[in-house]
Amino acid sequence: MAVYAFIFPGQGSQSVGMGQELAEAFPAARSVFEEVDDALGEKLSKIIFEGPMESLTSTENAQPALMAVSMAVLRVLEQDGGLDLAGKVTLLAGHSLGEYSALAAGRAFGVAEAARLLRLRGQAMQKAVPAGEGGMAALIGVTLVQAEDICTKASAKGDVEIANDNGGGQIVISGKSAGIDEAIAIAKEMKIKRALKLPVSAPFHSSLMKPAEDVMAEALAKAEITAPIVPVIANVTAERETDADTIRQNLVRQVTGRVRWRESVAAMVGMGVDTFVEIGAGKVLSGLVRRIDSEVTGLSVGTPADIESFLKTL
C-alpha cells in the first residue's frame, strides 16, 4: 500500500487556463472558484481562465489563483471521487504559498480565508521593496554550502540570502539587486552549472520582506486557524505541525524565512511517505521530489484525466 503525501505548488506554476477544464466538468470545482471570487469581491476566475498572463503572474493574483486551482482539484477528488483525505493521506505540504493550500486542504482554515490571506500576502510582498531594488536568482548544480558561500561573498555588494532550498542541486537566492548580480558573477566564476536571474518583481523569502511579515503577523493574529485533519510539514521548520498557534507563527516567519523544501521532502520520506501527489497546476514539485529522492513516486493531479487516473490507483 502506498503511503501518500499531498503537496501543493507555489508561484511559478501558474498558466492561463489552469483549472478551466475542471470547472467546466465538475460543479464541485466550479464552487471553489466562485467561493474565491466572492471572498475577493472580484472575478479572479476570469483572469485564471482567460488571462492575460501578465495579470495572472502578478503576485497578488498568482497566490490566491494557484490555491484556488489546488483546492478545486482536491474538492473534486473528495466530492466526486470519494477520497477520504484523513484516511488516505499521511502528510500535507506546500511550497511557499502552497503551504496555505495545504492548510486549507487540511481544514485548518477555509478556502475564502486562504484567498483573502494570500491576496494580502501578495500585495504586502509586492509593496515591501520598491521596484528594481530587489530580485531573485536560481543557482543550478550547486550544494547548500556553495550557495551559502556565494551569498556571503555577494553580500558585500548588497544583502543576499538563500530563499528556497529546493533540492536536486537547485537553490534560489534573494536580496538586493546589486547583490544578486554579484552572486551570479561569482557563481559563473565558480563554474556553477547555471546561474540565472528570475523574472520576479521582489526579493521573496528574504529579510527585505520584513514589512510584509509585519502585515501578515497582524492578519494571521486575527485569522481563525484550527488544527488540520492531516499534519502539515511547515516550510520554515521542515517539521510536522498540527498545533494551530505554531502554524500561525510559522506562516508569519515564512514571509522572510527560507523554504526548506529539500529537508521537508526528506522529513516526509523519513516518516514513511513513498508517493508524493502534486495537487493543482503544473508538475514542478513532483519533478523536484524525484530529483531529491529517486526511490519515491512523484505524481501530478491537475486535470479531469489526471483525477480519473489517480482515483484508479487508490
Q: How far is CA 128 from the centre of its chain?
A: 19
**Side-chain half-sphere CA neighbours of 68 within 13 A:** 38
Residue 122 CA to residue 294 CA, distance in Å, equals 34
Q: The C-alpha cell of 162 is what?
A: 538563500
**Could you tell me the end-to-end alpha-carbon distance of the chain, in angstroms, rounded to an integer?**
9
Pairing state between β 160-167 and 170-176: antiparallel
**Cell numbers for 266:** 526528506
Catalytic residue among 45, 101, 205, 286: 205
206 is catalytic: no
> Is 96 considered catalytic here?
yes
For residue 9, whether the previous peptide bond is cis, meaning omega lies within 30 degrees of 0, is no
Strand bridging mode 89-94 / 232-233: parallel
C-alpha cell at 13: 506554476
DSSP β-ladder status, 134-140 and 240-241 = unpaired
Q: Which of 13, 45, 70, 96 is catalytic?
A: 96
297-301, strands of its sheet edge to edge: 240-241, 232-233, 89-94, 4-8, 275-279, 297-301
CA dist., res. 110 & res. 106, Å (int): 9
CA 314 – CA 309 distance, rounded (Å): 10
Compute the distance between CA of residue 195 and CA of residue 168 in angstroms, rounded to an integer. 15
Rg (C-alpha) for the chain, rounded Å, is 19
* H/E element, 275: strand 275-279
Instruction: Give the catalytic positions in this structure.
Output: 96, 205
